[in-house]
Structure 1
């Protein structure tokens, strides 16, 4: 998912301090859900499930991460994707094929007792179906978290919210948000903490990327950064063979974009892609309001419907419900 710009963005990533994270965060919902489904799994890659076999990894991620946000003074707004653009049809097909292949390899790894391989392939097999999306929306509603339904790409609306001053930053793993013009991107917000990476546990911390710093540091306009991405490959086009981010940057600085496209991407018309990043369809209407979590209905939903333990859920709800000496939601919102 996303565009492979890490090699040229890396110098402009900075550790996020606690004060960098407070305020309204526009959360790329699909990105976060994929992260939860990929990471929150048993050692052999099996996701968390209830007794009926329904996946609950995403519900665990939403509940514990969102309540953690609230305690930190972060006001999340979840932005869900709408209808994907026609430009994305190829990518959607390729991702489906990758998931299906990963599912087959996961099954084989489990049969062979290859735990490390099973977990790796399981992560790649994650998918968002109607049950996952519906239950995610239900839980967010019960938690009092506002949800925005984007007309197309959620990243575009998440970025627009920051550009128009509705939100402070976009929370996503993908650099695409910079192409959509997000002034401030916070990565690792939904996956911070200890997680498995390449067979070992690592500590992942939130980091910030400021678009103006990237453009100034690379001496590019936003349009030129988009052209770099087009050469590397985006969700809307395949990249030029043998061209990574650093090579693409050199080509753009040398004024050789058209030549590379003509030689290596002859079937690609870059103009619709560039225009989609610059002028994507967005809602532009963001009536956001945070409400207090509905304690009883959350218990009924998570514990009654999906088999979560009340001993785990209740103490967390008490921390954000104003009981005891904890801050209340009113003090945040």
Structure 2
């Protein structure tokens, strides 16, 4: 999820119309993960086709992207992850993989138990943590975006780094991602919660789009860009 800089950055709450005529470089994997978690039936069951393939991410991509582009005049560039840098998962030991698997199985168990007792709200909150992205889901997403005529970029490595580079070079106004790492990669701005429904995580939490400006953040903190990176390293 990246470094948690939420308590440090300068955040402006805006409206969707403030993005009209602007281009956002989208961290595709981040958005797909979000749709896999949230686009579900009230019971927490994901959307599926007749053969049992999960289509939650496709539904989310289709409706969100088309509405942002055609209703709100926002241009989107989807950036997909390439090969991760070796250091990224150097900490991902066998024990850590086992812990993640145990957390996943625990969420599945709690989801089923909540359904059995008719606690739909709890069931949904447990189900959102069980979404898993794979190569088929990524391939289907690329195919859909291609058919929609949406611009796509295949990053050589980290999508967020590539999206930040696109914004830094002026090809996009901001990076659309949930993570603050975009600022550390040098993006001049990042946009969060660019949502049609105006809710986050599907549990009735009202949210407005947020814009975090790198220059304003540095001025607000009275530090340099290099010092922000140093602070992020110290925070871990």
* Same fold flag (TM > 0.5): yes
Query: Structure 1 residues 221, 35: CA separation in 2 closer, same or farther (over 3 Å shift)?
Result: same
The 5 A counterparts of 1:202-213 are 202-213=205-216
Alignment of 1:38-49 (within 5 A): 38-49=37-48
Give the whole-Å Cα distance in 1 for the aligned partners of 2:23 and 2:229. Answer: 26
Shift of 1:180: 0.8
Q: Which has the higher contact order (CA 8 A, sep 6+)?
A: 2
Taking the TM superposition and a 5 Å limit, the aligned residue runs for 1:174-213 are 174-189=179-194, 191-195=195-199, 200-213=203-216
CA contact (8 A) 1:79 1:154 kept: yes
Greater fraction helix: 1
The answer to whether the aligner puts 1:160 opposite 2:159 as a matched pair is no
Measure the CA separation in 2 of the matches of 1:17 and 1:57: 23
**Mean alpha-carbon deviation: is it higher for 89-98 or for 178-187?**
89-98
Once the two structures are TM-superposed, the CA of residue 16 in structure 1 deviates from its matched residue by 4.0
2:147 aligned with 1:142: yes
Instruction: Give the unaligned 5+ runs of structure 1.
Output: 234-333
TM value normalised by structure 2: 0.88
Please report the RMSD computed on the Cα atoms of aligned residues, expressed in angstroms.
Answer: 2.2
**Count of aligned pairs:** 230
**For structure 2, which runs of at least 5 residues remain unmatched after alignment?**
none
**Following TM superposition, by how much is the alpha carbon of 1:196 offset from its aligned partner in structure 2, in angstroms?**
6.0
Q: What is the alpha-carbon distance in structure 1 between the residues aligned to residue 105 and residue 87 of structure 2?
A: 22
- The equivalent of 2:4 in structure 1 is 4
CA gap 1:218/1:81 in 2 versus in 1, 3 angstroms: same
Work out which of the residue numbers 108, 116, 124 in structure 2 matches 1:119: 124
Stretch deviating more after TM superposition (15-24 or 60-69): 15-24
> What's the CA shift for 1:83?
0.9
1:96 offset after TM fit, Å? Answer: 4.4
Per the TM alignment, residue 216 of structure 1 is displaced from its structure 2 partner at its CA by 1.0
The answer to whether the Cα contact below 8 Å between 1:79 and 1:148 also exists between their aligned partners in 2 is: yes
Secondary structure of the 1:8 match is coil
Segment of structure 1 superposing worse, 147-156 or 15-24: 15-24
The answer to whether the Cα contact below 8 Å between 1:79 and 1:150 also exists between their aligned partners in 2 is yes
